[in-house]
Amino acid sequence: MRWREATVAELLGRPAAGPGRRPRRAREVRTVPELLLGAARTLALLAAVSVLVVVGSLGVVTAVPALAAGSRLLGRARDGRRVRVVADFVRCVRQAWGAGWLPSLLGVAALGLVGLNLVFLGRREAGLAAPLYVLNVSAALIVLWLLAACVRELADRPSLGTPELARRSWARAVTFGRWHVAVAAAVGAAVALTILVPLAGLFFAAGGALALGRLADPRTPSDERFS
């Protein structure tokens, strides 16, 4: 470093750039119209992802692949990459289909069984049915917890086989961290939004829940980044 550069840096009160120090980037200042445009784009993406996930989940066995595709699209957008919503969603669903159809089928079947049990218990006396209510609701929460872990692992690694997906999903589900708090909050908010304002739930519940989970754990494996 030349002595004039060092002298100027000392006068400005900043450490001079050297071989081991990277110069700091100037902080980008965004105007109000740019912020509003960015917020509008984010809301539009969340709405599009939510609708695609809902439509894609109607096939029952496509529920987990559709959710994984939605999470992957949001991760791509968060990385600043170009997103072609419909085309990329369909491609991601196809990639995740191989390992995602079985957990979809098992998860939907388990939740359906719990729902039937709750309907049956609703016709019984409250005192006798209370313990069974707790048991069934707990089972539903466990199933949802495992499905959420499965969705995230499949979103990050769509080429996983079923055994490897099961192992990674179980490891994620039983290891508590920020992602788990975010998922619990996101699911609660999504359910509340759907009950209070059904139309808003249709357009933002699924996308918002996936985005919150992605925000809490934004890591994407380097060997399977978006193409």
pLDDT cut 70: percent of the chain above it: 81
- Is residue 40, in this structure, part of any structural domain at all? yes
Q: Can you list the positions of beta strands (E) in 43-196?
A: none
CB atoms within 10 A of CB 46: 22
Residue 170 domain flag: yes
Distance of alpha carbon 87 from alpha carbon 90, whole angstroms: 5
* Cα-only R_g, the chain: 23
Domain assignment present for 183: no
Q: Label residue 225 by pLDDT band (50, 70, 90).
A: very low
pLDDT of 182 over the 80 cut: yes
Token pair for 49: 């992802």
Which pLDDT score is estimated for 18?
52
Domain coverage including residue 100: 33-178
- Total count of domains within the chain: 1
Neighbours of 199 (CB within 10 A): 9
Rounded to the nearest 5 percent, the helix, strand and coil shares of the chain are: 80, 0, 20
**Per-residue pLDDT tens digits for 59-116:** 888 999 999 999 988 888 887 778 888 888 999 899 888 889 999 999 999 999 998 9
Write down the pLDDT at residue 176.
83
Q: Tell me if 48 is assigned to some domain.
A: yes
Cβ proximity of 153 and 168 under 8 Å: yes
Say yes or no to pLDDT of 17 above 80.
no
Asked whether residue 9 carries a pLDDT value surpassing 50, the answer given is: no
Asked, for residue 159, whether it belongs to a domain, the answer is yes
Please report the pLDDT score of residue 170 as a whole number.
92
Predicted confidence at residue 27, as pLDDT, reads 59
Most confident stretch, 17-31, 183-197, 206-220 = 183-197
Residue 28, in any domain of the structure: no
Residue 155 within any structural domain of the chain: yes
How confident is residue 199, by pLDDT bands cut at 50, 70 and 90? confident
Query: Does residue 174 surpass a pLDDT of 50?
Result: yes
Task: Reply yes or no on whether the pLDDT at 226 is more than 90.
Answer: no
